[in-house]
Structures are given as structure tokens and as C-alpha cells.
Chains A and B, each alone.
Chain A
Amino acid sequence: DADVTQTPRNRITKTGKRIMLECSQTKGHDRMYWYRQDPGLGLRLIYYSFDVKDINKGEISDGYSVSRQAQAKFSLSLESAIPNQTALYFCATSVREGQDTQYFGPGTRLTVL
């Protein structure tokens, strides 16, 4: 079984709809991250969490919110989806902060029409 799972894997939605992307991990890591990937822009950090009570904005948090329901679960929400949020979204975990390996999920491909 995969250590970091994401649901759904693909989602097509319409402008203005609320969308939630979910991430679960069995690695026992405290640190979790949400990234979005766009061609030519690489991976950009949306939000990160170092434990259930600690949530921080990344470089592109506008239009997104997150919830850390438990050590193993970290959800990303788009309150009112817009077309420029069409992207590939990745959840990741790590044992420690920046100088440690990040373990990525398989990604969610989101299309906003």
C-alpha cells in the first residue's frame, strides 16, 4: 500500500464550486505539505503543517484553505474554484523540516472549467 495517498486522483469541476482534496499518510510523519505543479513553474508550496495545531501559509495560499484533522490527514480546500486553479496538486510529508526527504503522494489532477 502507498504511504501517502490522495483522493480523488482526477477531478473536473466548474467555476465557483467548492472542492476538497484529501491526503492521508501512514508514514507517521508530523510534517505535511500541499504543492501545486504547473508546467514551467515547478512545484509551489500552498500550505504546510508541522503538527495538528500548526498550519502555515506557503507562497501561493490565496484562494486555498487547509485542515489538519489528525496527524495522518491533511485536506486542501478551494472555496470557490476558478479556472487558473487548474493544476496538478501534490501532498507530501517529511520527518523534519526543510533539510529532510519529502515523500510525495501520487497527485490529484484538477480541472476547473
Chain B
Amino acid sequence: QQQVKQSPQSLIVQKGGISIINCAYENTAFDYFPWYQQFPGKGPALLIAIRPDVSEKKEGRFTISFNKSAKQFSLHIMDSQPGDSATYFCAAPSGGYQKVTFGTGTKLQVIP
């Protein structure tokens, strides 16, 4: 069973700052690492995902950095905005690639 360790559990960042969330995984034969964003009262929704052919992927203010040798990946939110306040989940493939295991979540609060 894949284990995914996510940190920190909560994060407070000032508007315009950089938010960084880290995840570590145990083992995977394939590399697909998504990040999901969840607003209060809503279900999680895919934010950004990275596949094995790159070590970094950027979409707007959101960047995933992937370190395969260390089995770690992180989400960077540049120029954080109050609208980014949400809970973020990382995930990694598990169960022979039939499903994903989610991290424990990071509650981000961006204060003005």
C-alpha cells in the first residue's frame, strides 16, 4: 500500500508570498503525481499534475517540482492570493496503478 506523507498540515501566507507544500511517497513503478485543490463545501478538483518525463511543470502561478531520487514532490504557489485559500492534496499511484493514495492535506490560508 502506497504511503504519501504531506506537510505542512496548515499554512498561513501573506498575500503576494510563496506557498510551498511538500509530499513524499514510498514506491511507484510509474510516475504520475497530481495535486488537487478543495474549496470549503466543494469536492476536490485537479489543479496540476506532473508525469515522469519532466522534473518541473508550471501552470500560471502554480509549479510542481519533482525529485525522483528523493521520492519527493512539491507544489509552489507564487504570488499567493486570498482566492488560493483552500485545502490542497497531493496524490500518488498505488495498488498496481489501479488507484491513487492521497496525502493528508494542507489547509492554506492567504491573508491580505
Interface residues of A (CB under 8 A from B): 4, 33, 35, 40-45, 48, 50, 56, 58-59, 90, 92, 97-99, 101-107
Residues of A within 8 A of B6 (CB): 42
User: When each residue 18-59 of chain B gets 1 if its CB lies under 8 Å from chain A and 0 otherwise, what string results?
Assistant: 000000000000101010100001111110010000000000
Residues of B near A4 (CB, < 8 A) are: 43
> Is A98 a contact of B102 with CB atoms below 8 Å?
no
Q: Which of A44, A48, A104 contacts B43 (CB 8 A)?
A: A104
With an 8 A cutoff between CB atoms, is B60 at the interface?
no
- A43, A45, A105 — most chain B CB neighbours (10 Å): A43
Check if B89 sits within 8 Å of A42, measured CB to CB. Answer: yes
A42 touches B99 (CB 8 A): no
Q: A42-B89, A97-B98 are in contact. Are A106 and B43 (CB under 8 A)?
A: yes
Given A42-B103, A107-B43, 4 additional A-B pairs, CB 8 A: A43-B102, A48-B98, A97-B98, A106-B41
A102 near B46 with CB under 8 A, answer: yes
Distance in Å: Cβ of A18 to nearest Cβ of chain B: 25
